[in-house]
Structure 1
């Protein structure tokens, strides 16, 4: 007997069973700006340049999965356009544009030209050389997302690129109508990635084929993984999934699939027009982070969902995909509904918990899993990570012992080619426009410049001067042809924030739905925001705590030495690095002694790269005492001991932003004086 526990579940069940009769797409609450309209400034511009100068910007020159020699095709399941090339292209297009790197732009243009020049006469994208493999759709989805970004940055290429996309879409439609040809388990799990391209076509280049596009979206959803059931409270795993069997198949608990699926309800709401999908979306976000969340902003899945223990892993691919899902969900926004006289009345608002989540992941989990120069990356990071080396035994039941080494390709290669999308997509979605195009909204705080035209031909230029999140102050200068309302997100962690306009008297911020509005006049307006935050602690398993201030999670940066395990023969900067602790890390802390410290960056600028040990101007000191804290294996910690006894006199230790650490303790046992 089917048990329906809520109106949301009932509505989604009905949709899956009988389909959706509504036509068209629900407009987004917020509109994204074309790639290149928003540019990073200050330290954030430097961070994009560090990425361009690191592994991301050079792997095409030597890394076999995306090098020139592999573009002609191949039989590897991971080669070329099957997946690796698509991942790389999707992240390197915006990297080249935002870092203003001519070499990367040339690489991505050459890749685009090659793929489109070799499009099959049937419309199939990508070369098929010496292979009898079936045509699977999934590997093409990410190429399409990259191609869309090319058109945004360079509209002169629209005719050629959009024509090629449409040829592929027509073929994919035929395949889907031919007994779901081209779908396998990965395509079924990640159907929403293709739906994004179809929605972009619908809004920009529909070619009179709106009904076909909507029908394809419906088909993808109906044949895809049942994410509304997977995320349901009754079905969702509330602990590490080791030894458990999913009723929906293994890939339903796969970490990267979960990360991508978090946007599935926002994507499908636009064509189902069923507001309860977004209620389910909100609940899905909450349940993932309740049972698997990390203080760094990410969640735990060392291949599959891994619970709350601090030594379990979070995959780098999962980090950047969660960021992108946050971005997409916020653009569509949440819907608050109430029932009256047989119909729903809707008020569309932006639920800014997604924006808070994006910042926390971007400023913590993302940089922590790469070396400061971004030449080496992990497959899995840990909240408590006391070594990065070949772990025998290792704490990851389904991933290899090399998974937390910093290197070119620890464990699987996917994160090598996929990680570059993180920083540039964060930047390119830092500002949005309201759906009526009359107002600009600064969503993800940091240093930027923006040039755009709002409704009524209102030319607007914005510069944001700030060291945020390594400073609490943002100075924004807006130049506009005509008056308009400018909005700035006020993060939920802000305490006693203030705003001043044109050096007027300082006033307390008064956000509505998380947004501070400022009436901007024609001409130049200066906005000064101060967004201080209190030190807060987060309860973690075993009586441990995590420490936060503002967007930053704080950790004890364990002193370490470095051993080069391997070096690429073609590129000596691509190295595998082992890190070992050179000092004690077995401490309990007294949270009542947490004290925030602000350093003064030399010349008012942050060092480069800022996400490296000892370089942050923000630190927190705390009283800590040495304790007995065992290793569960040779290279990873046991769970934090609960209410441990001090075995030595207290000392003061310094906590640094999590993203600047490579070995760390970030979930601490607690003692009281």
Structure 2
């Protein structure tokens, strides 16, 4: 039986919570991000992005009034806060990943207005009330007449991506002027002057300031980063000293709720890594390890994300998680991966992307679920046992505007940022494939910066082989690194069809050679069926990066809410109250049967119809396990993890499919002896 959270890091453990006072030189990340557009998705991943482009990701400004009407980021009096930058943070990379000129033209309206309307002081963003009504010029002396720092942090992420795609010469001077202004303005208008969102998410600001430092080497940017960190939530310290994690299990009230807010936590995850990048202090990385381990132990759910409905809320399989928390945690992991080079964070990123992310939107990417639930036996209106239960009863249904609309604007960065971070560059001018999906990479490698195109041919995570086809004008020597996931005992590499080497799971393997045009490198990652332990003594079935859930035929119903518009409910059409047999849990390789149903082709969609894989398992129904107000509360078990109540005498074969293909399901099963 596979144990929960078997993470293994290369760094030695240190006592958490103590930081050396001495500063060291800025630390270069182990892996460097590639420019936006260097990675072009193909296969099923490209189809996912095309669906998004055709849906709300490409058209939110046409279908969502808050963004559509008199937008503040175009000089109007409408939305000037987070939702427009949130949308652009996914729509802009989508435009360049698909090389879509129409979408590029659309998002560049906002980029160009922002760049062209910076104030002489360096301040930027929508026109403020003081500017409109009192004609005040926003500068460091009048910083208090500005507006919230938080939305600007998101727009800075948009501009950073735009720069990597285009090298527009306006961007770096724009950022420099703003950060110089901010260094002075924070003394009289600190991060928390307007809202606590800025203090809870200040690491987003630190991250971009440090990125600009790598381009300009302006020492004031590191001074700014230190000041921002001092005014922000102390995520790095909290993650290491463990008192914070204990407090998240105790209270569910308004006191300090921002410290438990799952989206804040998801953003804050990268704080220790980014602070390490600035200081070189490895204690930050120890605190990151401690915090991630504790977070997933106390609040982790089988699909690879922590609970957050809206606050962190324990590991019971009936707790929910907000869609914004999923995409923000993914982005934090993508930053952590580059800085630390640690395989467990890469494994965690894939698990979130292939399980938690796809289930929370409709096939057309026009509706989202504010909170998803692991053991979700119906999607419906109701006041559920969430930390923010919503008396409007709309936080569980699938709708464009159901729940809060932050997720409607922010969900677009999940797949786009994942696609951008399939590859990184390495020391020695090499490349590293650290997460896998079909795509084509264009990069310059070796001492002569030879152009190379690497076509990654695979339907991973739905198959266990990844093929890399190299096209280049001349031979070049460079390191080619590949991640071997922690769930894989031993991988095999083949070069041009011939065995090359074996590599152990949980490591980065390097093939360092002179590569030639037409070379083909293949990676074989054998996937075994395992079971993992989760909250309330439940068990989940996994194979490779995919988690498997009970397949239930779905009944969809459409409704309309006067305030939040159209929405969709989903109900199961068959029994869901099954327990896995003890033998299946203890000997999954022998008791559980895996099969490929159909290939995951270029037209793949994350739904039951397209589910390419399945696992059959022996199980028994539990007559006493019934939904209460639509919630399948976990049956009581003893300390050995076995259900002691009545079970059906008949053993049935149940079918499990990838979690991401389901809407209603059981994924955390009780065990029947």
Same fold (TM over 0.5): yes
User: Could you say what secondary structure the match of 2:519 adopts?
Assistant: strand
Deviations 1:186-210 (A, max 9, x none): 111111101111112111134xxx2
C-alpha contact 2:313 2:387 (8 A) present in aligned 1: no
Task: Indicate whether 1:399 and 2:397 are aligned.
Answer: no
Q: 1:177 is matched with which residue?
A: 187
Per the normalisation by structure 2, the TM-score is: 0.88
Q: 1:115 is matched with which residue?
A: 114
C-alpha contact 1:446 1:466 (8 A) present in aligned 2: yes
Task: Indicate whether 1:216 and 2:208 are aligned.
Answer: no
Distance 1:100 1:560 in 2: 36
Q: 1:240 to 1:634 in 2, by over 3 A?
A: farther
Query: Is 163-172 or 528-537 further displaced after alignment?
Result: 163-172
C-alpha contact 2:490 2:505 (8 A) present in aligned 1: no
Distance 1:517 1:191 in 2: 39
C-alpha contact 2:92 2:162 (8 A) present in aligned 1: yes
Q: 2:233 is matched with which residue?
A: 225
C-alpha contact 2:635 2:670 (8 A) present in aligned 1: yes
Gaps of 5+ in 2: 1-12, 134-144, 638-642
Q: 2:422 is matched with which residue?
A: 430
Q: 1:34 is matched with which residue?
A: 35
Q: 1:596 is matched with which residue?
A: 594
Q: 2:93 is matched with which residue?
A: 94
C-alpha contact 1:91 1:418 (8 A) present in aligned 2: yes
Task: Indicate whether 1:259 and 2:266 are aligned.
Answer: yes
Task: Indicate whether 1:198 and 2:196 are aligned.
Answer: no
Task: Indicate whether 1:606 and 2:587 are aligned.
Answer: no
Matched ranges for 1:74-93 at <5 A: 80-93=79-92
What's the offset of the Cα at 1:65? 2.5
Distance 2:163 2:242 in 1: 43
What's the offset of the Cα at 1:74? 9.5
Query: Is 640-649 or 286-295 further displaced after alignment?
Result: 640-649
Query: Pick from 407, 410, 415: which aligns with 2:407?
Result: 415
Distance 1:120 1:544 in 2: 56
C-alpha contact 1:71 1:111 (8 A) present in aligned 2: no
Q: 1:336 is matched with which residue?
A: none
Deviations 1:565-617 (A, max 9, x none): 139999xxx9411112221111112225311112342xxx5263421113122
Query: Is 518-527 or 616-625 further displaced after alignment?
Result: 518-527
Query: Pick from 432, 439, 442: which aligns with 1:448?
Result: 439
What's the offset of the Cα at 1:81? 3.5
C-alpha contact 1:627 1:648 (8 A) present in aligned 2: no
Q: 1:548 to 1:216 in 2, by over 3 A?
A: same
Distance 2:384 2:246 in 1: 22
Query: Pick from 481, 487, 491: which aligns with 1:493?
Result: 487
C-alpha contact 2:267 2:328 (8 A) present in aligned 1: yes
What's the offset of the Cα at 1:150? 0.7
C-alpha contact 1:74 1:130 (8 A) present in aligned 2: no
Distance 1:72 1:281 in 2: 35
Distance 2:52 2:252 in 1: 39
What's the offset of the Cα at 1:237? 3.4
Q: 1:237 is matched with which residue?
A: 245
What's the offset of the Cα at 1:497? 2.7
C-alpha contact 2:191 2:231 (8 A) present in aligned 1: no
Deviations 1:361-406 (A, max 9, x none): 0000000111122111111111000111111x41213232311111
User: Could you say what secondary structure the match of 1:251 adopts?
Assistant: helix
Tell me the C-alpha RMSD between the 2 structures: 2.6
What's the offset of the Cα at 1:21? 4.6
Matched ranges for 1:75-474 at <5 A: 80-128=79-127, 130=129, 135-155=147-167, 157=168, 159-178=169-188, 180=190, 183=193, 184-206=195-217, 210-238=218-246, 241=249, 243-244=251-252, 249-333=256-340, 350-391=341-382, 393-400=383-390, 401-434=393-426, 436-456=427-447, 457-474=449-466
User: Could you say what secondary structure the match of 2:65 adopts?
Assistant: coil
Distance 1:634 1:10 in 2: 43
Q: 1:8 to 1:458 in 2, by over 3 A?
A: farther
Query: Is 283-292 or 487-496 further displaced after alignment?
Result: 487-496
Deviations 1:85-106 (A, max 9, x none): 1111111111111123333212
Query: Is 353-362 or 590-599 further displaced after alignment?
Result: 590-599
C-alpha contact 1:470 1:616 (8 A) present in aligned 2: no
C-alpha contact 1:297 1:365 (8 A) present in aligned 2: yes
Q: 1:576 to 1:275 in 2, by over 3 A?
A: same
What's the offset of the Cα at 1:48? 1.0
